Amino acid sequence: MKKKKFTKEERVRYDTLLKQMKHYEKRGVEITLSGEECSLEEIASACAVREHGCYMGDYIWDETGKLKEIRYDRIGADAKRNQS
């Protein structure tokens, strides 16, 4: 993923999301972006910048109610276009 300089708003979103994801990762939660394993920094950047569409986290729980995975998937018109 190409590096981009963040605006102030993007930096706040990036820092907040990265902090949250690191917390979950320490607890053993798997985190993916559009079905791909990526670094937390790449995921936070994609979600913060929204350059390639908006992403939404889908939280997956196991049968005991423990969070086991967060899947960030593209949503909206861009997602439908890219699935074709």
Portion of the chain with pLDDT greater than 90, in percent:
67
Tally of CB atoms within 10 A around 25: 13
Residue 78: half-sphere exposure toward Cβ, Cα within 13 Å = 11
pLDDT at 78 over 90: no
User: What local confidence, expressed as pLDDT, does residue 49 receive?
Assistant: 84
Distances (CA, A) of 26 to 47, 72, 80: 20, 18, 33
Query: Domain segments of the chain: what residues?
Result: 8-83
Q: Token match 């907040």: residue?
A: 16
pTM of the model: 0.77
Tally of CB atoms within 10 A around 43: 24
What are 12-44's pLDDT values in tens digits?
A: 999 999 999 999 999 999 999 999 999 999 999
User: What local confidence, expressed as pLDDT, does residue 76 receive?
Assistant: 78
